[in-house]
Amino acid sequence: MLLRVIVSLARACAAALLGTACTFALSCPAHAAKSLPLDQAVAALPQAAESRDGYERASFTYWNAGANPDDGCDTRDEVLIAEAVEPPATGPDCKLKGGTWSSYYDARQITSAAAMDVDHMVPLPEAWDSGASQWKASRREAYANDLADPRTLVAVSAAAHRSKADQDPAEWLPPNSKATCRYIVEWTAVKLRWSLTADTEERESLARLAEACPDATVTYTPAP
């Protein structure tokens, strides 16, 4: 219960900033939040060619001890607990039992933690391609376990997560078409938060998709 409160506080802070259905705000770190209409936010993404040279998944330390290192729950567990519609019971070693989740990528209700994945909104290989290859290992770990912004890590069905894999919005969009505006807002916000670049095809796709979301706003806080 305490874990759910700890992790949810940051997410609640973000939710309190939401202005419309298409406005996705950050939690409240020290850096000042910035807001832009979606089309301007897409235009603000630095454009650069991508390179996967040297990428290894082990370059990112993901699913570390999370917000409460003493409770046995890693970052993945904490996201699942925080995003549950009906909270699961937490057993020894943070084994989750029961619970219900809403997977917005594919509009599915899931009643088993084993059928859920925690997706990096901007997948680790894509982050590497887009600038993380130049980061220190500590910053890559901070990115891979970012609990301060509820959009960086999202609990979705395992099927949707595996369908997406490492693809960007030029290559993959949620099968739930009603989620498209939310998805590109969140993708853009995460890239801006972490100062990640976008290649030409990705940026053009985002700009085209943004035309169908005229009221959407991107609010983000640069990562420390």
| 19-23, 31-35, 102-106, 206-210, range with the lowest pLDDT | 19-23
Q: Is the pLDDT of residue 9 over 90?
A: no
Q: Is the pLDDT of residue 200 over 90?
A: yes
Q: Is the pLDDT of residue 90 over 60?
A: yes
Mean pLDDT over each residue of the chain, to the nearest integer: 89
Predicted pLDDT at 25: 37
Each domain of the chain, given as residue ranges in start order, spans 2-220
Mean pLDDT in residue range 143-168:
98
Question: What does the block give as tokens for 156?
Answer: 């979705």
Write the single-letter amino acid at 58: A
Mean pLDDT in residue range 9-36:
51
pLDDT band at 69 (very low <50, low <70, confident <90, very high): confident
Predicted pLDDT at 30: 53
Predicted pLDDT at 8: 47
Predicted pLDDT at 31: 73
Give the pTM.
Answer: 0.86
